[in-house]
Amino acid sequence: MTQFAWRTEDQERLLRATLPAKVLDEMLEMCRAAGKRETGGILIGRHSEDRSTAVILEATGRPKDSLFSWATFSRGSHGLRALLESRWSENRFYLGEWHFHPGGSPNPSHQDILSMKKIASDPDYQCPLPLLLIVGGNPRRDYLVSCTVFIGVAEPARMIAESDNRRSSP
């Protein structure tokens, strides 16, 4: 199975993330459906035994109570508690967030960074190293996918692609 992978630059604290192509294809379909508006959801999966690799197994769509426009996305929470409780029984957990920057860069905005630092430091999330995946560009043609890991309130660590995370859609 084709997958996309990222790693941190810091060799002393090497962290990795993987994303199956099937999950990325589902994300791209949600981006195409959103048109010129931002969209997103949460990332669900598991960590490797040594906790160095986040294995993303699912990317949800936006909850019904999300707020979104051409330049902003504020993920709602409708239905997420029940979804996450059901995934816990399958040993799948909240790993972070994803969203779409239509026609734009996959780099996190200032607001993205503030939101993720809040998640990283909030014990209710039970996720001290949340990931943020951003799809930027045009999901119908050319796009890029970035991955950033947030370690508490420290500066985020932009992860380096281990595989080609730029694709052209058919």
* Structure confidence by residue, pLDDT tens digits, 67-106: 888 888 889 899 999 999 999 999 999 999 999 999 999 9
Note the pTM of the prediction, 2 decimals: 0.91
Least confident interval from 15-19, 90-94, 151-155, 162-166: 162-166
The CATH number of residue 113's host domain is: 3.40.140.10
User: Among 167, 164, 130, which Cα is nearest to 28's?
Assistant: 167
Instruction: Please report, for residues 6, 14, 56, 73, 132, the alpha-carbon distance to residue 128 in angstroms, rounded to integers and kept in the order given.
Output: 18, 15, 16, 22, 13
3-class SS at 31? helix
What is the predicted pLDDT for the residue at 170? 38
Task: Check if the beta carbon of residue 1 is closer than 8 Å to that of residue 20.
Answer: yes
Partner residues linked to 133 by β-bridges:
98, 147
* Structure confidence by residue, pLDDT tens digits, 24-69: 999 999 999 999 999 999 999 999 999 899 999 999 999 999 888 8
User: Among 136, 138, 154, 156, which Cα is nearest to 146's?
Assistant: 136
The verdict on whether 38 is a catalytic residue reads yes
Cα separation, 118 vs 124, in Å, equals 11
3-class SS at 159? coil
Dihedral angle sign, alpha carbons of residues 60, 159, 166, 34? positive
* 100 compared with 141, residue with greater pLDDT: 100
Domain of residue 72, residue span: 3-168
* Contacts for 164 with CB less than 8 Å, ≥ 6 apart: none
Total count of domains within the chain? 1
Which residue in 12, 38, 58, 97 is the catalytic one?
38
